[in-house]
Amino acid sequence: MAGARERLHNLFPDLDFDPDVLREKYRKERDRRIRADGESQYIEAADAFAHYADEDPYVEPGFEREPLDLDLDVVVIGGGFSGLMTAARLKERGVNNFRLIESGGDFGGTWYWNRYPGAQCDIESYCYLPLLEETGYMPKEKYSYAPEIFEHTRRVGEYFDLYSHTTFQTRVTEVRWLEEKQRWKVSTQRNDTILTRFLIQATGPANRPKLPGIPGIADFKGHSFHTSRWEYGYTGGDHHGGLTKLHDKRVAIIGTGATAIQCVPFLGAHAQKLYVFQRTPSSVDLRGNKPTDAEWYNQQQSGWQRARRENFAAVLTGQPVVQDLVADGWTDIARRIGISLMNRRPDAGNLDMEEIMLRAEIADYQKMNEIRARVNGEVTKPDAAESLKPWYRQFCKRPTFNDEYLATFSRPNVELVDVADAKGVERITANAVVANGKAYEVDCIIFATGFEITTSAHRRVDFDTLGRNGLSLYDHWKDGFRTLHGLSSHNFPNWFTIGINQNGLSPNMTSMFDDQAIHVSHVIDAVLKSGHSIIEVSAEAEEAWVKTIIKLAGSGASSFLRDCTPGYYNREGRTSTGAGMQNAPYAPGINAFNHLLAAWRTKGDFEGMELD
């Protein structure tokens, strides 16, 4: 212990806080929130709660069409960025006999559904919006708002002529491998008959809203909706605000994650009374948005967008870069840690692992001290200010960035209800949200309670995938994902998925989806051209990849997440064993993963996959 303190002092002689005190505070705050029921505290937006997910407030009701009868080369399920990019990359390769099936009324996925006021992407637009060079589009600002992103998905759809390949307002109900036909059969709620050689599931990680299993949730008689199905008919206004129908309404919002941070300022500005029920505060950093400098943008050389994305990923994974091109809140902490690693004392030789971890931890405390200090500067009510301070390491939860959220709690009509001690809202009655023994009567409850992102794979999609001999994908994955490269599985011939597990992960989701789309479209195109009819991951290659993922995930990340406050990042505090490790991303990061995939393609022998 004395040695550890001496080391700390030697490395950081000017530290103005005691890391031991913070460590202990973080541990206590974490324990306050850990629940015995873990992930099962949430309920699916299904059955009695299906309307929270299945109703589409953005289309005219009553759409009907004749059932389709199709025999195709490829079906892509999902018209968000992952499906769009996959279809675009197929088209680029000249694969044209495909159909994209989408449940919404247009492209967009996340950006089709999430139209809540203030919705904005936290990832810099120059990295996030794909195909900027191809489409010649210049984003308006460094951080795009939802309508611009939604428009961009439509632009990509137009650019690649994907509208003529897409069936909207259609929910897939089952996909099944037909051995005798060597085709996938895709069933939908519209009684379509669709056969296809290849199937790509691109249903997205934030596709299914999730609800808190608060006792009495079904008893509420007022109005309620999930943030991803915002009901402007009830609130009035639009994405830019103007929620004038709330002027005489008492509103409760449950949840204070990345979504709530963005819409609470608008609710606070318009609701007669707003109660924000908070279990864990988000870390809220400066937004610092600014318009795009057209001169700078137009000077970019060909290939700049990929280079920028790779630079962003490199900074986030601590790889050395000449310049942090994005230079924002995301890269700030990662860059600081990276810099401290690179600033090795000349006499120290190679840093040992313990020192690396300590430097990272100290940089994190410094960053979070700044985040907490920011709360004091923005919130005038002392109790609310105390509750709004996050006590955990920054990447335990999704960092957020907003310049209006904190100040909203200084408004007289806005009340923060801290439900940390009770580990959540206690109960919902016909007309109230009950917390800490007190009933808060409300007219409307808005659930900002997130999505089925890390819950079991089957909860994330609302249909089954049945491979050889009727094997359900979700039985195959019952103890955790089993794939090669996160993209395909044994016993599921000609089947691929675009996703976030067992592959290179980045908070810049669109770039990872595009990289996977490039790979999957390459494989499908190559098989179509080869004259083979089936490609399937071998059992051995699948097992080897699972082992690789677990082995690489085994060190830093899992112990980091184990000590974190609960949330979906650490599967409500249960990440370090079993499926938690197996579902991890490829630990060396997205750039390393892409090099691995590129080398696999160059080798050209479909290593780990069997052709019939």
CB of 25 to ligand NDP, least distance (A): 17
CB of 221 to ligand NDP, least distance (A): 20
- Residue 405: how many CB atoms within 10 A of its CB? 25
The residue among 334 and 419 lying less far from ligand NDP, judged by its C-beta, is 419
The residue among 116 and 586 lying less far from ligand NDP, judged by its C-beta, is 116
CB of 591 to ligand NDP, least distance (A): 20
CA 587, distance to chain mean position in Å, is 17
Token look-up 């985040």 returns 371
Q: Of 140, 171, 224, whose CA–CA distance to 63 is shortest? A: 171
What are the structure tokens assigned to 36, written together? 């015995």
CB of 204 to ligand NDP, least distance (A): 11
Half-sphere exposure of 173 (CA within 13 A, CB side): 8
Give 564's contacts (C-beta < 8 A, 6+ positions apart): 30, 392, 393, 396, 397, 570, 573
- Residue 386: how many CB atoms within 10 A of its CB? 15
Cβ contact 258:114 at 8 Å = no
Give 183's contacts (C-beta < 8 A, 6+ positions apart): 71, 177, 195, 196, 197
CB of 391 to ligand NDP, least distance (A): 12
Binding site for ligand NDP (CB under 6 A): 33, 120-123, 206, 212, 214, 254-260, 277, 279-280, 398, 419, 424-425, 448-451, 567-568
CB of 461 to ligand NDP, least distance (A): 17
Backbone dihedral region of 8: left (phi > 0), alpha (psi from -120 to 50 degrees) or beta?
A: alpha
DSSP 472: B
CB of 42 to ligand NDP, least distance (A): 7
For residue 401, the one-letter residue type is F
The residue among 156 and 254 lying less far from ligand NDP, judged by its C-beta, is 254
The residue among 156 and 535 lying less far from ligand NDP, judged by its C-beta, is 156
Task: List the beta bridge partners of residue 472.
Answer: 466
CB of 149 to ligand NDP, least distance (A): 9
The residue among 83 and 329 lying less far from ligand NDP, judged by its C-beta, is 329
The C-alpha atoms of residue 43 and residue 447 are separated, in whole angstroms, by 12
What are the structure tokens assigned to 107, written together? 């492209």
Task: List the beta bridge partners of residue 276.
Answer: 253, 416
The residue among 197 and 226 lying less far from ligand NDP, judged by its C-beta, is 226
The residue among 33 and 270 lying less far from ligand NDP, judged by its C-beta, is 33
The residue among 287 and 482 lying less far from ligand NDP, judged by its C-beta, is 287
The residue among 349 and 437 lying less far from ligand NDP, judged by its C-beta, is 437
DSSP string, 565-596: PSSGGGGGG--SSTHHHHT---TT-HHHHHHH
CB of 572 to ligand NDP, least distance (A): 7
Q: Of 517, 611, 528, 495, whose CA–CA distance to 90 is shortest? A: 517
The C-alpha atoms of residue 534 and residue 532 are separated, in whole angstroms, by 6
